[in-house]
Structure 1
């Protein structure tokens, strides 16, 4: 999404009290990850994610130059008294020395512990969970998003790691940010010693890998990933600000190359550095990495569906400045909202995603689950700007929206009661109504958007 002014409080929130599943293992977190200690071989920690009832992805990265053999072990107790599964893999430069595997044949609602060995070193111990089945009466989901390394330490991640009420972590996007050292957040970063690496805006595969690596060195990040299993979807900054199927606001082809190459680099690095399933590990065969959406079932309590809203279907965002001259009255503004923002066919979701979502919601309703959750990377509620000029808060913008994000732009939007951000669902009302219609047809008129 378009960058916002910096405020000390981030958009991380916690959802707790949807009740479901077995109690979290009563193991003090410091025995698991020891986030205060950096391991020189496994300096980016360990992670688990993208589970179903019988399997979960395990991840780590080895700090090395050449190919390295990596051993992994899985147990039901943190002391590894009895090894349940084990194996060997090779960390190679081709995958930036990341290692990712799908541990299978596990029991529903199980808690497992895993570790890796390489170059004579042992990784921190991670804890992984599979999705529960059967009767549930509580579920704890920690919700995180918009995690900009330059703006501060990931203390919220560390708090999530230590929270015994958390069963899974849902990250709804902007896991990294693409800006360079002189970009958004650069002033704050220099003051607190959190300058982005590499210093340039990330464009190439090497760039994206280095940025992911930097974020994973944060102590809070290592702690959270070791303690809890991740459910994830991406937003825009994992690639570039405000992308659509044919480009992005923060991509200049003249100096940064073609958009498909940059997008492919960002997606490849994302799959290398996060514990997410490869397409061949999915029940739906023939999907691409770009088709990154999921449906998670939590017993008889809830279904969580995550959305992909950036790369598979999104129409180009509407630029207010390109239409400012045509808006001189309330009637013009209403026509703009109806015919430009609301133009039929301006998609947000891919047809395949819509079909999968409809099937998951219908099944949830049919089986009597009380909760249906949507992991949604951006605001879906209408956010029209009030008339801040009439309220005496801002001066008259003189019918000039000026630059996006400025006070003049805000006053101009308020004068015509237009949406705050055309990059969000507000800029795609046809697509939003299509989503609402889909949910109603499935009998799921009670969605909770996270």
Structure 2
């Protein structure tokens, strides 16, 4: 294992690097700050249009982030920062100064170190005498931990509506940490996916064209962080994240992406580098220096004696090109053809998803001498087997409108159902060899009690997992989109048919226990030493900022002789 994955080494190195540029200083008072509230007296100063954020926590440090809204100049901007254990900032734990400039897009990151574990802190930045909004964060605990709450979020498309689920997470008092498993931004232009809703809500993507250059990605990140729900969540809880595809372009692999055309959009490596640079600038995460380390965005976190969490990089370090069904529709004319396709094309040996580096990180983390009750994996896309059931035989579409049955989405679904093909080919179902290889790597360290925390599909899921030989491997909790709509609803099916499709996936697929494609929202996982409680939380609307929340389903996860399972 390379030292990059030694967490203590990383934290020490990164903290030293940041603090060399962002120095500590004696405590000072600020004439434009109300000492009672901690807020600015200067109401005209709006240097913090993108809010504040924290993330990538350790037991003794955490990343603090903001961005200055100033005119782009060649001059450096000096920003002060303060950290305290109370929101009035009467007694500071740490403070310092940091320089930023246009090379960093005027983003600011500091990593105060030597903090106490499991402790809530408040932080703010001060520029030209004007303070930022106050943020709250928390270091990871050490030692005995009786309970811990994780909010699982994914698929936040600005064009499709307001980030109300983020706002709900901000207000959720049972959350200690937010895990975002990808599609934090979307690359599409103003006329792309979601444009009709965007026009109605005045949430049209900026820039108007698809994001390609560094300036494009910076502008898109900036737009997403103007959402009030996003600002509330980031100011309330620390973030851990992994990316999926839309942070760069739809369905990337090592050498390209489905939504990248070299002839008109330049070299894929240039676009990928631009997207990754903007991501590191605009997210509250620690900054490796080399591009290889930046692409290898898998990290490990220890939550006292309660849980280990590893985030998986599945897009830019190993992934083979996903299979495009359109290249095979004329070649699959029977069940035998379909079975050969699944075994020899989709299931071909060598079709990777994870790098060796990431696999080793998982093995090293889950073989720690102190075995914690819960092994969590931040996973961008579903790993459960989702071969489309025979909805034709079940006659689910009989009552659907004739015009809907003529859509591309309906024809594609019926074709996949006829031959029992994977619902998606860019999830782990499109890489079954890699999935089994990863399961076997986990089995080699006796880690068969995994909890995958998954995004990407825009639907809620409860899945019970097994390897190719039927060996139980754990469970998967999938979250709906923050705003991105569920596939069946977005594809135009009636509510009744979409509901029947959900029930068919539950009843016909061995690994799917429950699913819902009707709602947007988030999943909350509350861990204790004896069990874990999962809540699937839905938002009433994303098309206005007044919303309500409801709990669609709650379930308890127990440990048994076969690892972890949903309580009957």
Structures share fold, TM-score greater than 0.5: yes
Q: Name the structure where strand makes up a greater proportion of residues.
A: 2
User: Is 2:38–2:88's contact at 8 Å kept on the other side of the alignment?
Assistant: no
**1:49 and 2:55 correspond:** yes
1:390 maps to what in 2? Answer: 393
Q: CA deviation at 1:324?
A: 2.0
Tell me how far apart the structure 2 counterparts of residues 134 and 107 of structure 1 sit (CA, whole Å): 12
Counterpart residue number, 1:417: 420
| 1:15-35 per-position Cα deviation (integer Å, ceiling 9, x unaligned) | xxxxxxxxxxxxxxxx8999x
Q: Deviation at 1:157? A: 0.6
Shift of residue 405, structure 1, vs aligned partner: 6.2
- For residues 311 and 91 of structure 1, the distance between their equivalents in structure 2, rounded to whole angstroms, comes to 28
Give 3-state SS (helix, strand or coil) of 1:224's partner: helix
Once residues 367 and 32 of structure 1 are traced to their aligned partners in structure 2, the CA distance between those partners, rounded to angstroms, is: 42
Give the secondary-structure state (helix, strand or coil) at the position aligned to 1:146. Answer: coil
CA contact 1:32–1:126 (8 Å) conserved in 2: no
Aligned partners of 2:121 and 2:136 also within 8 Å: yes
- CA distance in 2 between counterparts of 1:39 and 1:228 reads 25
Pair 1:367-2:374 in alignment: no
Q: Say whether the 8 Å CA contact 1:39–1:123 is kept in structure 2.
A: no
- Return the match for 1:275 from 273, 284, 287: 284
- State yes or no: 1:94 paired with 2:87: no
User: 1:203 pairs with 201, 206, 212, which one?
Assistant: 212
Name the CA distance, whole Å, in 1 between partners of 2:187 and 2:130. 32
Q: Could you tell me whether the CA contact under 8 Å between 1:47 and 1:58 is conserved in 2?
A: yes
1-side partners of 2:330 and 2:323: how far apart? 14
Do the aligned partners of 1:291 and 1:308 also contact (CA within 8 Å) in 2?
yes
Say if 2:179 is the partner of 1:170: yes
Structure-to-structure mapping, 1:2-401, within 5 angstroms: 40-65=46-71, 66=73, 67-279=76-288, 288-363=293-368, 366-394=369-397
Judged with a 3 Å threshold, the aligned counterparts in structure 2 of structure 1 residues 165 and 69 are, in CA distance, closer, same or farther, namely same
Q: Is residue 81–residue 95 contact of structure 2 (8 Å, CA) maintained in 1? A: yes
Residues 271 and 404 of structure 1: CA distance in aligned 2, closer, same or farther (over 3 Å): farther
Q: 1:286 to 1:104 in 2, by over 3 A?
A: farther
Q: Deviation per CA, 1:324-346, whole angstroms, max 9, x where unpaired?
A: 22212111111111111111110
Describe the shift of the 1:405–1:46 C-alpha distance in structure 2 as closer, same or farther (beyond 3 A): farther
Which structure's relative contact order is higher, taking Cα pairs within 8 Å and 6+ residues apart?
1
Question: Is residue 108–residue 131 contact of structure 1 (8 Å, CA) maintained in 2?
Answer: yes
Q: Secondary structure at the match of 1:309?
A: coil
Is the 2:55–2:238 Cα contact (8 Å) retained in structure 1? yes
For 1:405 and 1:154, how far apart are their aligned partners in 2?
30
Q: 3-state SS of the aligned residue for 2:219?
A: helix
Query: Displacement, 1:388?
Result: 2.5
Tell me the residue number matched to 2:433. Answer: 430
Structure 2 equivalent of residue 10 of structure 1: none
Work out whether residues 54 and 237 of structure 2, in 8 Å CA contact, stay in contact via their aligned partners in 1: yes
Maintained 8 Å contact 2:39/2:131: no
1:32 to 1:252, Cα distance in 2 relative to 1, 3 A: farther
Measured in 2, the distance between the counterparts of 1:358 and 1:38 equals 52
Deviates more, 1:383-392 or 1:85-94: 383-392
Q: How much has 1:76 moved relative to structure 2?
A: 1.4
**Could you tell me how far 1:288 is from its partner in structure 2?**
1.4
Q: C-alpha separation between the residues in 2 aligned to 1:347 and 1:341?
A: 11
Q: Secondary structure at the match of 1:142?
A: strand
In structure 2, relative to structure 1, the CA distance for the partners of 1:33 and 1:180 (3 Å cut) is: farther
Q: Is the 8 A contact 1:173 1:236 kept in 2?
A: yes
Corresponding residue of 2:9: none
Deviation at 1:39?
Answer: 6.5
How far residue 162 of structure 1 moved from its aligned partner, in angstroms, is 1.0
In 1, are the aligned partners of 2:206 and 2:220 still within 8 Å (CA)?
yes
Give the match for residue 400 of structure 1. none
Instruction: Give the distance between the partners of 2:156 and 2:170, measured in 1 at CA.
Output: 15
SS at match of 2:281: helix
SS in 2 for 1:338: helix
Partner of 1:445: 448
Shift of 1:120: 2.9
Which structure 1 segments of 5+ residues have no match? 1-30, 396-402
Name the CA distance, whole Å, in 2 between partners of 1:355 and 1:339. Answer: 27
Task: Give 1:393 deviation, angstroms.
Answer: 3.8
Q: CA deviation at 1:390?
A: 2.6
SS at match of 1:325: coil
- Find the residue that maps to 1:324 and give its secondary structure: coil
- Residue-pair matches, total: 406
With the length of structure 1 as denominator, give the TM-score of the two structures: 0.87
How far 1:391 sits from its partner (Å)? 2.8
